[in-house]
Amino acid sequence: MSSIAKTVIATGTSSGLGFEAIKQLLQQAQPYSFILGVRDTEKTRVAYDDLKFDTSKHSVSILPLDLLNLKSVQSFAKQALSELGHRPLNYLFLIAGLAIGADGPGPHGSKWCESYMVNHLAQHYLTHQFVDVLSASQSRIVVVSTGAIRNVRGSDPGTLDVDLKANSGANAKVVYSASKFTQLLGAHYWRRTLPDCKVVAVSPGLIPNTKLAQHSGLRLTMDMPDAKTVPEGAHSILRAVTAEDFPDDPEQIFLTSWGEWWPKDVYALSLDTALQDKWCLSKEDIEKSEPVFQE
């Protein structure tokens, strides 16, 4: 076990699966240095302090990050890189998720709905901010995905252009599946763009007892088949951190909640490189297209 702390930058760690995943890592002998982006920094800081983790071994830095505001993403990235300094970045955890319908206006004038902004666009933009250090560090990028990527409406990626728009009226289930599908397109995009990094998409399984499930209206319960507790779901996520049994096929990047690599036919729609490029804009194109940068 290395005595040198491994560095982690992460989203979605103030509660639920993300918080539990960091909690489990803080219980390990391996030292970790965490830089966590959250909306409510004070509440989150208290939650981590209450864990009474070994501060002589681990460190937890909590910085403000609002994934509904791409300027906040930009600011967080700048702070995180400053705090990281010359250390390598071992892991980037993209855990944040949102599951609400597309019934209102887009954040900061965006043409896209909130769930798309959180689940894909903001975290894709965040990854752009770290490209140089990710490549130099040969980092592992862990993307928390879901089996719901199979449920794109009509099994037609053309519906994404409709369902993910602000005010589309698409319900939470449709929008969640569509936005997480675009997130998986992003995982493939970064696998291609950052060949020195290891990109792993992972499903934590069906986890009813999280804010994501409670606020989505999806009515998930623990008596459903394959339902898992939050600690079990976090354990599934951390399997993506430790896995070394990677398939020979570089496109086979999706780790299931039961610890196996999903065959590609399950997510075949996401393997279209033209589709990946369409939904994974460059940093510059995001800044040109999103109204928040013109405010």
Beta bridge mates, 35:
9, 61
User: What does the alpha-carbon distance between residue 261 and residue 247 come to, in Å, rounded to a whole number?
Assistant: 8
Phi-psi region of 211 (alpha: psi -120 to 50; beta: other; left: phi over 0): alpha
SS3 call for 267: helix
> Which tokens hold the place of 47?
């939650």
- Output 130-136 pairs: Cβ under 8 A, ≥24 positions apart: 130/9, 130/77, 130/80, 130/81, 130/89, 130/92, 131/193, 131/194, 133/81, 133/84, 133/88, 133/89, 134/89, 134/92, 134/194, 134/197, 135/194, 135/196, 135/197, 136/88
User: What does the alpha-carbon distance between residue 245 and residue 243 come to, in Å, rounded to a whole number?
Assistant: 6
User: What does the alpha-carbon distance between residue 112 and residue 125 come to, in Å, rounded to a whole number?
Assistant: 14
User: What does the alpha-carbon distance between residue 69 and residue 210 come to, in Å, rounded to a whole number?
Assistant: 23
User: Which H helix or E strand runs over 254?
Assistant: strand 254-255
Within a 10 A sphere around the Cβ of 52, how many other Cβ atoms? Answer: 8
Within a 10 A sphere around the Cβ of 1, how many other Cβ atoms? Answer: 6
Positions marked catalytic = 176, 180
